[in-house]
Amino acid sequence: MPASTLSLERLRARIGAFLSDSALEELMFLSKAELEGRDGDELHVSVTPDRLDLLSEAGLALHLAGAMGVAEGILRPPERGGGSEIRCDIDPSVAALRPSFAAVLVESSEEGGLDEGTLAEAIRFQELLHATVGRDRRLASLGIYPLDRIEFPLRYSLEAMEAVRFVPLDGTEEVAAARFFAEHPMAARYGSLGRSGDRTLTLRDARGSVLSLPPVLNARGAGEARPGDRRLLLESTGASPRAVGEALGLLEVVFVGRGWTVGPVRTVGTGDDPGMEWYRPRTVDLPVGVLHGIAGESLSSAEVARRLGAARLGGHPHRAGWSVEVPPWRPDLLTAVDLAEDVILAGGVRPECGVLPPSPTRGRRRPESRFRGRIRRRLLGMGLAQPYTPLLVGEATARRMGADGAIRLRNPVSAEFAVLRDRLLLSHIEVLERNTRHPYPQRFGEVGPVVRPDPAAESGAETRYHASIVLAEDGTGFADGAARVEMLLRSFDVGFVREPAVLSGTIPGRAASFRVAGEPVAETAEIHPGVLTELGVPVPTTWAELDLTALWALGARRDTH
């Protein structure tokens, strides 16, 4: 899950009301954010990928103020006008490399302007957006510039590198673009995204000053925001118009959450003018039938209005439902279903609120489903907690465990959910990483689907069901995993053979596979200490996994009662 470190003092100052530690933890538990820990003034917060706005102090303060009843409704920042010269001319040369551009102006209402804490928050949030919405800057990147050191109009173009010289943001001397791309570490990481052959993307102002080489690095001077600046330009470039708009809208919350005004920057040369609208709320319709169908109860118009206000949204009732205003920093609210979820969460959702709807059918569970249910009960009988994990895992987890054969999504929403797991182990590695704050021993097991490539299948993939066991505790070892696999296999009344195996992410010589009738049906191993160190897990960890689909085909279908 995306995570960040926020200042509790600045958070409380933005809310404008006292917030105790216990109330903070409770309110975050009822939202899509979680308080992972606290170290003095530092709050370690994680969120679901659709609520990135909660990873800024301003965005989280807006949410908490609504949940506490301190404020309600959509935040409407004052708008500042922009003349015809407040524009960016987009050269056609950028179309093949990084065609999307959007920008807004923000201005402080306070005499002191930009303070160090807000600048640090903006830069931290900017880098988080690069990694998530921007997909490591491939889809979108962001820039923050001092408006008083810029002269409009701007020009975004692809120039010959021999014509480009600038002072990098972290440098003191002017360098040629060719030297910058050859030597600078930021160019080594992101340079391929902003250059084509001997040409590089540039953003210049009317005087010809280089503001930045998107998406690599800003320039010193015209590209360097500093404490005390009262007016800023926020811009985003990228390969995806949607990602560019989402990133820019999210970054706005850092400033408008502190009362800054916003204004448009026109774009000329793209065929449309997206920069004119990124700072304004948009409207999404919420039909009453959708809301009541998802909520499972009828809510009065007054109650819906109250909950929309608590969610910091603007609601206007009409005959068939509500017309809801959504701020730019809530790109997750796209449909009526998304709005219904926010209304339900604003009412407070706890485990006891769940209701099992009656089934309209007279069917029954398939034998394979009953078989898997029996395995779940056996895992519970072994004293294993049973987590529920999604089918998608992070790209970092797949690389860490050497899952080269797993299927990658072509255009994932987030790198946190970019790979279809081919083993439950990948999900359970993430469970271990998220739960290092909990005491050990940790023992859990799960039955769930995995997806493996299958060229013979119409979709190119096959869904199978596995059972996985993880033991994280002092003294655990290979024998513990092997014993549990053997116990489960014997309960199916099948003969099996155990043989040594080499499994990615595990200790060599401490791994084995199991075969039934020559077919591989299970694996077990000790997780490699290097992997555990990266995860922050301080104790040895043993893993075992059974292929229930294979066992069913090999005769376990007798075990269905």
* CATH code for the domain of 434: 3.30.930.10
Q: What is the pLDDT of residue 501?
A: 93
Q: How confident is the model at residue 410 (pLDDT cuts 50, 70, 90)?
A: confident
Taking residues 285-301, what's their average pLDDT? Answer: 90
73 within a domain of the structure (yes/no) = no
Same domain, 296 and 268: no
pLDDT digits (tens, 9 = 90+) for 149-181: 999 999 999 999 999 999 999 888 999 999 999
Does residue 300 sit in the same domain as residue 272?
no
pLDDT of 83 above 70: no
Domain termination residue (choose one: 253, 276, 299): 276
Let me know how many helices (H) and strands (E) the chain has, helices first: 16, 28
CB distance 60 to 336 below 8 Å: no
Indicate whether 35 and 103 sit together in one domain.
no
Structure confidence at residue 287 as a pLDDT band (50, 70, 90): very high
pLDDT tens digits, residue range 438-458?
A: 999 999 999 999 999 998 888
Task: Provide the pLDDT for residue 506.
Answer: 94
The phi, psi pair for 27, rounded to 5°, reads -65, -35
Question: Does 495 map to a domain?
Answer: yes
- CA distances 510 to 445, 477, 532, Å, are 20, 8, 15
Average pLDDT of 89-111?
91
Are both 272 and 289 inside the same structural domain? no
* CB count in 10 Å sphere of residue 84: 8
List phi, psi (to 5°) of 476.
Answer: -75, 155
Chain centre distance of CA 171:
32
pLDDT band at 558 (very low <50, low <70, confident <90, very high): low
Strands (DSSP E) found in 205-320? 210-213, 217-218, 231-238, 261-264, 266-268, 282-287, 314-318
Q: Is the dihedral of CA 191, 194, 196, 199 positive or negative?
A: negative
Cis, peptide link before residue 540, omega less than 30° from 0: no
| 336 and 263 assigned to the same domain | no
In whole angstroms, how far apart are CA 527 and each of 18, 141, 478, 500, 508? 45, 37, 9, 15, 10
Query: Which pLDDT score, from 0 to 100, does residue 274 have?
Result: 46
Tokens (6 digits) for 112: 């002191």
Q: What's the pLDDT score for residue 279?
A: 77
Instruction: State how far the Cα of 192 lies from the Cα of 214, in Å rounded to an integer.
Output: 11
In a shared domain, residues 383 and 314: no
Among 541, 354, 543, 540, residue whose Cα is nearest residue 467:
543
**Where does a domain end: 242, 276, 310?**
276
| Cα–Cα dist 503/500, whole Å | 10
Task: Give the residue carrying structure tokens 């979709």.
Answer: 459
150 within some domain: yes
**Residue where a domain stops, chosen among 247, 276, 305:** 276
* Between 362 and 67, the higher pLDDT residue: 67
Q: Which residue has the higher pLDDT, 233 or 494?
A: 233
Cβ within 8 Å of residue 395, ≥6 positions away: 408, 415, 418, 419
Q: Is the pLDDT of residue 84 over 80?
A: no
Is 548 in the same domain as 441? yes
- The answer to whether residues 330 and 376 belong to one domain is no
Number of domains in the chain: 4
Task: Let me know if residue 361 belongs to a domain.
Answer: no
Residue 58's domain spans which residues?
3-68
Counting residues of the chain whose pLDDT is more than 70, the rounded percentage is: 94
Residue type, 422: D
pTM: 0.66
- Which of these ranges, 145-159, 260-274, 392-406, has the smallest mean pLDDT? 260-274
pLDDT in tens, 28-50: 878 888 888 888 888 899 999 99
Let me know if residue 78 belongs to a domain. Answer: no
Which of left, alpha, beta for 75 (phi over 0: left; psi -120 to 50: alpha)?
A: beta
Looking at every residue in the chain, the average pLDDT score rounds to 89
DSSP state of 528: P
Encoded tokens for 288: 């009453």
Closest of 263, 311, 298 to residue 27, by C-alpha: 311
Same domain for 39 and 114, yes or no, is: no
Q: What is the CATH number of the domain that holds 162?
A: 3.50.40.10
Do 448 and 320 lie in a common domain?
Answer: no
103 located within any domain:
yes
Q: Is residue 235 included in any domain, yes or no? A: yes
- Residue 40 has what pLDDT? 87
Nearest CA among 130, 99, 121 for reference residue 9: 121
pLDDT, tens only, 308-362: 999 999 999 998 999 999 999 999 999 999 999 999 998 887 665 666 666 666 6
CA-CA-CA-CA torsion sign (32, 37, 43, 44):
negative
Q: CA 127 to CA 130: how far, in whole Å?
A: 5
CATH code, domain with 38: 3.30.56.10
In a shared domain, residues 290 and 331: yes
189 and 290 assigned to the same domain: no
Q: Evaluate whether residue 345 is within a structural domain.
A: yes
